[in-house]
Amino acid sequence: MSLLLKKPMSQELLGKVLPDDPHNRTLVDNVHPADWTNPEPAPRYNLVVVGAGTAGLVAAAGAAALGARVALVERHLMGGDCLNFGCVPSKGIISAARIAAAVRDAGRFGVHVPEGWSADFAAAMERMRKLRAGISRHDSAARFRDLGVDVFLGEGHFAGPDTIAVSGKGDRSNLPERPAGCFAQIGPVPFSAGRTLRFSKAVIATGARAAAPPIPGLDQVDYLTNESVFSLTELPNRIGIIGAGPIGCELAQTFARFGSEVILVEAAHGILPREEPDAAEIVKGSLLRDGVRLLCCGQRIEVRRRGDQVFLHVESHGASHEEPVDALLVAVGRAPNVEGLNLEAAGVAYDVKAGIQVDDHLRTTNSRVFAAGDACSQYKFTHAADFMARIVIRNALFKGRAKASALVIPWCTYTSPEIAHVGLYPKEAEARGIAIDTYTQELSDVDRAVLEGETEGFVRIHTKNGTDSIVGATIVAANAGDMISEITLAMTHGLGLKKIAGTIHPYPTQAEAVRRVGDLYNRSRLTPFVKSLFQKWLAWTR
């Protein structure tokens, strides 16, 4: 039976969380409780936040903690993509897939696993849903009410330059019906008359959603996005994934490790086209060993249906492929959520592709209104949204002048191994006319990596030519996302490679590779002339 859903969740399943089980009911009870009653609005708020994803929650909680009168408006699930369809569920099943791979490969460590063992995809997904439900308490409507925030569940839109109107009815009854018992229904929130929220300042934090590329035939078939893939309860035998960016690569490896036949399609060459080529090549090799079939340099990508069967057609490297799939995941691009906000009434400029127009202080074209997170930023990461919200609090409430351009934002792709990056890539440095020096420490020469069998990878740091000032770094390692923070700290506070080289790291750890990059820099300073001076001094002191 096909596991494909009918249309992406962002269009058809808004208001429903699949499957209907105790864990998802707990999730919904926390982040969109059916019995929620919107409060009576205050005469005026210091800050009204539209959208309860990461940026909105951080802005609301932070402002309330400082004594501001805050209202928070959310039409769907509090917690946003991160909790419900992104970071939390994806890392939950990625961790299970890593354990499955560790068991599969245990023999090389002298650990013998009995034949016939299996990975239970349904159990792993239930575990994820249970953990997500527990985490959801932190993003719950009740918790934010207890923090002093007025939480409004319903549709919010601007009614003027300093006014937001909220519909108090969260009923999604007009959505297409599903068979009884196949979903957990959100709401309806008890009907109440529309609320009008007047504000001194507001922040738009409505996030972004999965976007579908203009692939012929895609609109004629069922497909998954990140907003629906985590609702699966059975493993697809064959899954096609369009897009070899971070989401596509993470989930391709995950499904392959659980036992799916995975076809990963990418229009560009290789995978992770944004990353440094040799870094992406290491991850590509890992995906291929896990059984992922990669069709890159894809031309004429089409989706075709014959009866009940869906086929993924692509021309790759001169060969034509037509692959039958039981599930199709589209992992290409994000679109900012700007529709339905009536931004024109507030004088807020926006673009349907680029999102809300903001200056470096995150102020929109309406001086009373700010924006943060995926709705306005090219950096669509939870941690970026978090720190942009902190800038909004300072600038909106306290007339601060903090700049988004001053943020040093790292990111990580959670494949095995992980790729983490911060700062400039070499191609970006070249485009800006910045000459760089590059220092690379291979993990094959790091004892801890050798002992753990994780020698494919490296730590690479780029500095301004002739200095130890760090302009960018890439790490490929099992825990690259953890290791990159040391370099991010150094860049944020102006610490160079000499400081890293002079910092004791525990032995043996893979993070020792970061310090050893500092040693490489120090050795580069030992020019023949300097070495000759040392030799003369040592000869004189004998």
**The domain that contains 187 carries what CATH number?**
3.50.50.60
Q: Are residues 293 and 387 in the same domain?
A: no
Q: Are residues 441 and 483 in the same domain?
A: yes
**Residues paired with residue 208 on neighbouring β-strands, in sequence order:** 336
- Backbone φ/ψ region at 207: left (φ over 0), alpha (ψ -120 to 50), beta: left
Q: Are residues 235 and 348 in the same domain?
A: no
**Domain presence at residue 94:** no
- CATH number of the CATH domain containing 511: 3.30.390.30
Q: What are residue 109's phi and psi, to 5 degrees?
A: -100, 10
H, E, C per residue of 470-538: EEEEEEEECCHHHHHHHHHHHHHCCCCHHHHHCCCCCCCCCCHHHHHHHHHHHHHCCCHHHHHHHHHHH
Strand 355-356 and strand 261-265: pairing? unpaired
Cis omega before residue 19 (within 30°)?
yes
Token pair, residue 231, equals 């609702």
Domain boundary among 350, 384, 406: 406
The closest alpha carbon to 460, from 284, 285, 286, 276, belongs to: 276
Q: Which helix (H) or strand (E) holds 151?
A: strand 149-153
Q: Name 474's Cβ contacts closer than 8 Å, sequence gap at least 6.
A: 275, 276, 279, 419, 420, 421, 425, 458, 460
From first CA to last CA, the distance across the chain in angstroms is 83
Q: Are residues 395 and 498 in the same domain?
A: no
**Domain presence at residue 520:** yes
Q: Name 88's Cβ contacts closer than 8 Å, sequence gap at least 6.
A: 82, 131, 132, 135
Q: Are residues 315 and 428 in the same domain?
A: no
Q: Are residues 305 and 236 in the same domain?
A: yes
Domain that holds residue 484: 417-524
Q: Are residues 298 and 227 in the same domain?
A: yes
Q: Name 371's Cβ contacts closer than 8 Å, sequence gap at least 6.
A: 203, 204, 205, 355, 356, 358, 362, 364, 392
Q: Are residues 172 and 65 in the same domain?
A: yes
Q: Name 179's Cβ contacts closer than 8 Å, sequence gap at least 6.
A: none
**Domain presence at residue 180:** yes
- pTM attached to this predicted model: 0.93
Spatial separation of the C-alpha atoms in residues 398 and 146, rounded to whole Å: 24
Token pair, residue 532, equals 């000759």
Residues making up the chain, counted from first to last: 542
Domain boundary among 332, 360, 384: 332
Q: At what angle do helices 121-135 and 87-104 cross, to 10 degrees?
A: 140
Domain boundary among 293, 317, 332: 332
Token pair, residue 309, equals 């069967």
Spatial separation of the C-alpha atoms in residues 143 and 401, rounded to whole Å: 30
Cis omega before residue 277 (within 30°)?
no
At position 484, the amino acid (one-letter code) is I
Q: At what angle do helices 54-65 and 382-392 cross, to 10 degrees?
A: 40
**Domain presence at residue 97:** no
**Domain presence at residue 85:** no
**Domain presence at residue 24:** no
pLDDT digit string (tens) for the chain, length 542 residues: 344 444 443 333 345 789 999 999 999 999 999 999 999 999 999 999 999 999 999 999 999 999 999 999 999 999 999 999 999 999 999 999 999 999 999 999 999 999 999 999 999 999 999 999 999 999 999 999 999 999 999 999 999 999 999 986 443 333 333 333 333 455 444 444 579 999 999 999 999 999 989 999 999 998 999 999 999 999 999 999 999 999 999 999 999 999 999 999 999 999 999 999 999 999 999 999 999 999 999 999 999 999 889 999 999 999 999 999 999 999 998 999 999 999 999 999 999 999 999 999 999 999 999 999 999 999 999 999 999 999 999 999 999 999 999 999 999 999 999 999 999 999 999 999 999 999 999 999 999 999 999 999 999 999 999 999 999 999 999 999 999 999 999 999 999 999 999 999 999 999 999 999 999 999 998 888 877 887 888 888 87
DSSP state of 335: E
Residue 198 CB: number of other CB atoms within 10 A? 17
